[in-house]
Amino acid sequence: MFYSKSFIFTYKEIPAEAKIASHQLMLRSSLIKKISSGVYAYLPLGLRVLNKVREIIREEMNKLGAEELSLSVLQPLSIWKKSKRDALLGKVIISFTNRHKKQMVLGPTHEEIITDLVAQRINSYKNLPLILYQIQTKFRDEIRPRYGVIRTCEFTMKDAYSFDKDDAGLAENYEKMKIAYQNIFSRCGLSHCEMKEADSGIMGGRLSHEFVIYLNSGEEIELGHIFKLGTKYSEVFGANYSDEQGRQRPIVMGCYGIGVDRIIAGCIEKNHDEKGIIWPFSLTPYDVLIIPLDYREKRIVSYVDSLLQELGNQKIEVLVDDRSESAGIKFNDADLIGIPLRIVIGKKNFAQGKVEISLRRGGRIVCNKAEVVERVLGILKGS
């Protein structure tokens, strides 16, 4: 991708509404755009990061043998009345009456829908255990949206649900999820994420744990929450199975949520400096940023084309800053958007057959231009 043809716009000013680093930097680097209070659009740079988080989550869920599905955003209010959670959530639920005079809601979560689905299909112990998950948009009419994508009215969540014969099966899946969550957060640059026992709130159940990080302000941000639901929902929706003796028993459930947008914000909170974002290699929107300081020079253009060809062959995603801007502007923007690995092609170095490779976190080398691809691959392999 060439910067001049991209939808990347950067801003020096700190938005007055943004009180924490992640919110400020996501707006300034055009990862997101505010549409309304608590509602944000992901722009191309931000969507690339979001997709990388989603893929990490998918990989870790799939390792557990979980199956992905996609449940409807629109839900009948009647299913919430059946569980009586409509009253618990109150005005947080975004609801409306459709043209057929049926009351509907935009799903704030999916325990009711998934339990009703499983109740209609699982009827034997032979079908258990089972883990289903989705990565999907949720809606909640938050009374006080704040901190950018950390607390919003529209957000992306990974919600997984386990279905077991008994408490022992639930305990086993619960422990597996703990490990999977730690893997996810570690891979997303959040290895210091803390797990602690928590209040189950409106979700109910017997036990829950939350995964949190702490902002520089000292406030605590929840990235994930897992619950031992037991038979709370299966009893309401008739999600039963026949055991080995033919007796009907309620399915024992667990629920496991991750705030996908919050992972991005949390990563920035823990990986930035006064100049901008410092992406870990796992989440960076592009693997490599090439900064030619004089892109009018034909030899430099030809060399950049060759780098794009060779790196592309290795499935390396590259952004080329081909703009006719000063070196200062290019470096400032590079610091702000935070791509971790840079290839800087200066006129003087290039005339001597040299190119600079630098890391956003610090450190640089000058090497022969013929060695650049090999050096870059070595850095990426070790990241």
The values of phi and psi at residue 82, to 5°, are -65, -40
Is the model's pLDDT at 274 over the cut of 80?
Answer: yes
pLDDT-derived band of residue 184, with 50, 70 and 90 as boundaries?
A: very high
Is the model's pLDDT at 297 over the cut of 80?
Answer: yes
Is the model's pLDDT at 367 over the cut of 80?
Answer: yes
> Quick one: how far is CA 154 from the chain centroid?
14
Is the model's pLDDT at 127 over the cut of 80?
Answer: yes
Is the model's pLDDT at 266 over the cut of 80?
Answer: yes
Is the model's pLDDT at 192 over the cut of 90?
Answer: no
Share of the chain above pLDDT 90, in %: 94
- What pLDDT is stored for residue 203 in this prediction? 83
- Helix 298-313 to helix 372-382 angle (10° resolution) is 40
- What pLDDT is stored for residue 205 in this prediction? 81
- What pLDDT is stored for residue 202 in this prediction? 79
pLDDT, one tens digit per residue, over 26-81 is 999 999 999 999 999 999 999 999 999 999 999 999 999 999 999 999 999 999 99
* Residues making up the chain, counted from first to last: 383
DSSP 154-190: EEEEEEEEEEESSHHHHHHHHHHHHHHHHHHHHHTT-
Assign 288 to helix, strand or coil.
Answer: strand
Q: How far apart are the first and last CA of the chain?
A: 22
Q: For residue 131, list its beta bridge partners.
A: 162
The values of phi and psi at residue 186, to 5°, are -65, -45
Over residues 285-305, the mean pLDDT reads 95
Question: Which H helix or E strand runs over 126?
Answer: none
Query: How far is Cα 134 from Cα 69, in angstroms, rounded to an integer?
Result: 5
Query: Which domains can be identified in the chain, with CATH numbers?
Result: 3-273 (3.30.930.10), 288-382 (3.40.50.800)
Is the model's pLDDT at 216 over the cut of 90?
Answer: no
Is the model's pLDDT at 218 over the cut of 90?
Answer: no
pLDDT-derived band of residue 209, with 50, 70 and 90 as boundaries?
A: very high
> Quick one: how far is CA 268 from the chain centroid?
12
Over residues 232-253, the mean pLDDT reads 97
Query: How far is Cα 155 from Cα 50, in angstroms, rounded to an integer?
Result: 12
Query: How far is Cα 334 from Cα 339, in angstroms, rounded to an integer?
Result: 7
Average pLDDT, the chain: 96
Is the model's pLDDT at 221 over the cut of 80?
Answer: no
Quote the tokens at residue 71: 């449940």
Quote the tokens at residue 163: 């279905």
Q: For residue 139, list its beta bridge partners.
A: 154
Query: How far is Cα 14 from Cα 166, in angstroms, rounded to an integer?
Result: 53
Is the model's pLDDT at 217 over the cut of 80?
Answer: no
Over residues 267-275, the mean pLDDT reads 96
- What pLDDT is stored for residue 219 in this prediction? 80
